[in-house]
A and B are shown apart, each in its own frame.
Chain A
Amino acid sequence: MKLSRNPEPRYNVAQVLSVLIVTVGVILTTLSSHRRDETASASYLSRRYLTGIGILTLALVLSGFLGVVQEKTFASYNGNSPTTTRPKKKPKLSGKIAGRPDIWEESMFYLHFLALPLFLFIRHDLRVQARAVFSSPAHTTTVYVPLAAAQITFPAVLPALLANTLTQLLCVAGVHRLTTRVPTLTVTLVLVVRKAVSLVLSVVLFDGSDVTWGMLWSGAFLVFAGTVGYTVSGRASKKDKRA
Chain B
Amino acid sequence: MPYLIQVALFYLVSLLNNLAFSYDIPMPVHIIFRSGGLVISMLMGWLLSRKS
Contacts and interface: CB of A to CB of B under 8 A. Distances in A.
Interface of A: 1-4, 6-7, 9-11, 15-16, 18-19, 22-23, 25-26, 29-30, 32-33, 35, 46, 48-49, 51-53, 55-56, 58-70, 73, 76, 107, 110-111, 114-115, 118, 122, 195, 198-199, 202-203, 206, 209-211, 216, 219-220, 223-224, 226-227, 230
B20 A219 contact: no
Chain B interface main SS type: helix
B31 A199 contact: yes
Contact of A227 (B16, B22, B28, B38): B38
B23 to A, nearest CB: 3
A114 B3 contact: yes
Contacts of B13: 59, 62-63, 66
A1 B47 CA distance: 11
Contact of A59 (B17, B24, B48): B17
19 contacts: A3-B48, A10-B45, A10-B49, A11-B42, A19-B39, A29-B28, A33-B25, A33-B29, A46-B24, A48-B23, A49-B23, A60-B33, A64-B37, A66-B6, A110-B3, A111-B6, A195-B31, A202-B28, A224-B35
Which of A10, A46, A52, A209 counts the most B-chain CB atoms under 10 A from its CB? Answer: A52
A16 to B, nearest CB: 8
Contacts of B39: 19, 22-23, 26
Contact of B7 (A1, A35, A114): A114
B49 A118 contact: no
Interface residues of B, number: 46
Contact of A63 (B19, B26, B40, B52): B40
Contacts of A49: 23-25
A52 B23 contact: yes
A1 to B, nearest CB: 7
Contacts of B37: 60, 63-64, 67
Given A60-B33, A63-B37, A64-B37, A55 B7 contact: no
